[in-house]
Amino acid sequence: MIRALVIRSAGTNCDAELCRGFAGAGASVRLEHLDALVRDPSRVHEFDLIGFPGGFSYGDDVASGRIFAMKARERLYPVLRSAVLRGCPIIGVCNGFQVLVQIGLLPGPNAGEDWPEEYPPAQVCSLTDNKDARFCDRWVGVKYEPQSRCVWTRGLAEACDAIAPGGDASMLPVAHGEGRFVTASPSVLKAIEVGGQVALRYTDNYNGSEGAVAGICDATGRVFGLMPHPDRFLDWHRHPYWTRLEAGVRGGETPGAMMFRNAVEAVAGVTR
């Protein structure tokens, strides 16, 4: 059975939702504390999928996700690099996205370039304060990029249009105060866009992200980070006005659930 690892720490609060997303897609899930993996990094090799959940890891002291990221960067990078190279899909949601960019797993090396062996890639993007400096907790519209490399969002643009034309299906919940995507230079954003690494964008760009970017992947398409929460949209009754959607829509699979199924199928070698 395909095995998924969800890594938690003090302050993460969406690990249960992430576990449910993987389990609903048919994976066997193991929840592990970051410190346990730091003591024995080799345990990461046992898993086919890896998830970094949302929340406020270590109280977001210093900066959002900073302590979690530095522990993982210093002690887990070799096994995470190995996981990427063996084809393991990795997701970071909200706080998990903040962690992945600080580790250096996103956006990662350009296509055709090797992952550094000893040290992680330099951090070239970040998630910083929303443009209005306020915490935002609501549902937002997103647009899935049909040409993206991302295996997690494969087929979602077409699926959402078929489910509910007009964008009703292309909504996800957000809850963050530091979700504005920024890059070290315009050339970084251009490289990400040209490389097909932008997986989804906000339709109203409420937090001021560069390029309205809501989520990106690495050049392999397997490492994926996003600020919205697909793990909180695994059932249609979570949708803000689900009772007004067509009855047939409410009986099918949500976009959030599709992301986890895409990742499990990528590991299993399923093609559609």
Choice between 111 and 41, residue whose per-residue pLDDT is larger: 41
Angle between helices 156-163 and 255-268 (to 10 degrees): 140
* Phi, psi values for residue 168, rounded to 5°: -60, -35
State how far the Cα of 105 lies from the Cα of 73, in Å rounded to an integer: 9
- Residue 241: predicted pLDDT: 87
Residue of 169, 173, 170 whose CA lies nearest to 139: 173
pLDDT tens track for 113-139: 999 998 999 999 999 999 999 999 999
pLDDT of 272 strictly over 70: no
φ, ψ of residue 29 to 5 degrees: the values are -115, 140
Q: State pLDDT tens for residues 203-218.
A: 999 999 999 999 999 9
| pLDDT attached to residue 270 | 64
End-to-end CA distance of the chain: 20
pLDDT at position 145 is 97
Average pLDDT over residues 177-200: 97
What per-residue confidence (pLDDT) applies to 271? 52
**What tokens were used for 131?**
């443009």
3-state SS class at 229: coil
Domains and CATH numbers, the chain: 3-268 (3.40.50.880)
Return the minimum-mean-pLDDT range out of 10-19, 40-49, 90-99, 248-257. 248-257
How many CB atoms lie under 10 A from the CB of residue 133? 9
Q: Is the pLDDT of residue 263 over 70?
A: yes
Instruction: Please give the pLDDT value at position 49.
Output: 98
Closest CA to 143 of 214, 50, 71, 79: 214
Give the model's confidence band at 48: pLDDT under 50 very low, under 70 low, under 90 confident, else very high. Answer: very high
What pLDDT digit, counting tens, does each position of 54-105 carry? 999 999 988 899 999 999 999 999 999 999 999 999 999 999 999 999 999 9
CB atoms within 10 A of CB 96: 31
Residue 187 to residue 194: CA distance in whole angstroms: 10
Strands (E) located in 162-250: 171-176, 180-183, 198-202, 213-217, 223-226
Q: Which residue has the higher pLDDT, 271 or 143?
A: 143
Residues 6+ apart with CB under 8 A from 165: none
Task: Note the pLDDT of residue 59.
Answer: 95
Q: What are phi and psi of 228, to 5 degrees?
A: -65, 160
Q: What percent of the chain has pLDDT over 90?
A: 88
CB 193 within 8 A of CB 175: no
Residue tagged 């990795």 (tokens): 90
| 232: nearest Cα among 260, 203, 252 | 260
